[in-house]
């Protein structure tokens, strides 16, 4: 009896590990939503901004400024109007697209709002430091030697160095 229970337990653990491996990563989910919402520019714009920021950070570069990653309050109205313009009244394809898209809206909204959490977990970026911010800061410093105290992961210092600023960072 013990051997049988052990086999069932091992089988269950293997099944759970397979499920975990099939769960798409955060970025894979954003890419899927970009495909799903390809015809809806307001949503695709927000997804592209998040994906580009991640891409730049993965290359060791500072990201660009990004807009507030929240869906517009009237996004359902815009989607509804766009679907109505695409399909004639009573066409079941319009209903199918509405059902598919409207079911995904809360999920994509939650994912966009979670971008900051993703940056913290993936890159240790506790404050969103963009290349334009460090560019403006470097211009303000105008070549003066600068000490960044408690630099953390060094995103500000990196951006300043990218702009040829004379900076020393401390942990």
Instruction: Give domain limits for the chain.
Output: 2-124, 129-171
Residue 80 pLDDT more than 60?
yes
Query: What per-residue confidence (pLDDT) applies to 86?
Result: 93
Q: Is 148 in a helix, a strand, or coil?
A: strand
Residue 92 pLDDT more than 70?
yes
DSSP E strand boundaries for 3-118:
none
List the structure tokens of 35: 């495909």
User: What is the C-alpha to C-alpha distance for residues 125 and 128, in angstroms, rounded to an integer?
Assistant: 7
The whole-number average pLDDT for the span 108-117 is: 97
Is the separation of the CB atoms in 62 and 56 below 8 Å? yes
Confidence of residue 71 (pLDDT cuts 50, 70, 90): very high
Confidence of residue 4 (pLDDT cuts 50, 70, 90): low
Residue 149 pLDDT more than 70?
yes
Is the separation of the CB atoms in 131 and 61 below 8 Å? yes
The whole-number average pLDDT for the span 62-90 is: 94
The whole-number average pLDDT for the span 147-160 is: 93
Confidence of residue 11 (pLDDT cuts 50, 70, 90): confident
Residue 1 pLDDT more than 60?
no
- Residues sharing a CB contact under 8 Å with residue 56, sequence separation 6 or more, in sequence order: 62, 63, 64
DSSP annotation of 168: E
CA geometry: angle at 45 spanning 40 and 46, to 5°?
110
């Amino acid at each position: 009896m013990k051997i049988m229970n052990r086999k069932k337990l091992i089988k269950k653990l293997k099944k759970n590990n397979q499920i975990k491996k099939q769960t798409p990563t955060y970025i894979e989910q954003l890419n899927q939503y970009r495909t799903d919402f390809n015809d809806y520019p307001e949503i695709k714009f927000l997804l592209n901004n998040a994906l580009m920021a991640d891409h730049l950070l993965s290359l060791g570069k500072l990201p660009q400024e990004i807009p507030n990653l929240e869906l517009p309050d009237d996004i359902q109205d815009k989607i509804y109007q766009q679907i109505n313009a695409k399909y004639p009244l009573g066409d079941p394809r319009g209903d199918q697209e509405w059902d598919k898209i409207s079911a995904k809206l809360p999920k994509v909204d939650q994912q966009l709002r979670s971008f900051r959490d993703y940056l913290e977990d993936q890159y240790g970026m506790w404050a969103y430091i963009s290349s334009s911010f460090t560019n403006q800061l470097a211009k303000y410093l105008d070549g003066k030697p600068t000490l960044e105290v408690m630099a953390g992961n060094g995103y500000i210092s990196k951006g300043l160095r990218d702009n040829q600023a004379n900076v020393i960072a401390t942990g």
